[in-house]
Amino acid sequence: MKILLLGYGKMGKTIERIAEERGHTIVGRIDLSNRGDMDVLSTPDVDVAIEFSAPEAAYDNITYCLKKGWAVVSGTTGWLEHRTEIEELCRAQNGAFFYASNYSIGVNLFFRLNRQLARLMEGRGYEPSMTEIHHIHKLDAPSGTAITLAEGIAAMSESVDGWKLAPEEAEGYITIKAEREGEVPGTHIIRYESEVDTIEISHTAHNRNGFALGAVVAAEWLPGRYGVFGMDDLLKNLD
């Protein structure tokens, strides 16, 4: 499979290594310094673009690829105010777009556990909160994974309507504390507190390999499909 990498930082390099180990060819490595190199690639040159760039570049990158006729796997967070536009463009172009806030299989199992716990805790006198910890280079806060977790809690709970980034707090909203430390790949802690006890679940990534492998597996799955997809679609085929 011919893969175009959009974003060539630590994550892009990890995706490159895993993709090549799985027998794929990297046809381009695009970052801010050489974005014009995409213009020399024709539609048949690329089977799928894997986009892990920066929040300010993601929308233009994804738009460019969809108009070019390339399937796109994106994991960039911090740009999702434009997500509806991208999904409409994908359908208009009869294209393929796969988005996940986190490509780790473990994290996506954690998403399911989070929703189940939120359902069990509803109405039992516990106050939910969340802490997410990432490396100092992460540009957005809270993380996309934290937002997905908060949305999962809200979907299962009549008492939670959404989320607020600490120190902001509001009745009916889960507070997310975002910490940036060293080179931490990603830790997410869900906490339920009452007057008598505390219940916690957490996911800690040890490195970027799980995220990168999930993105490559999504890229292997996407070509030949048309529409907008996410990890639930992929996991149905892996269950």
**Which residues 6+ apart lie within 8 Å of 103 measured at CB?**
75, 210, 211, 212, 213, 214, 215, 217, 218, 231
Please check if 77 is assigned to a binding site: yes
Residue 145 known to bind ligand: yes
User: Rounded to whole angstroms, what are the CA distances from 6 to 11, 52, 65, 209?
Assistant: 10, 6, 10, 18
Q: Is 28 annotated as a binding residue?
A: no
Catalytic site positions: 134, 138
Please check if 76 is assigned to a binding site: yes
Q: Residue 223: is the preceding peptide bond cis (ω within 30°)? A: no
Cis peptide before 167 (omega within 30 of 0): yes
The tokens of 14 are what? 């990890």
User: Is 227 annotated as belonging to a binding site?
Assistant: no
Flag whether 103 is marked binding: yes
Residue 75, marked binder: yes
Task: From residue 72, give the alpha-carbon distance in Å to each of 85, 122, 149, 194.
Answer: 15, 37, 24, 44
- Does the annotation flag 35 for ligand binding? yes
Q: Which residues are annotated as a binding site for (S)-2,3,4,5-tetrahydrodipicolinate?
A: 135, 144-145
Q: Which residues are annotated as a binding site for NADP(+)?
A: 35
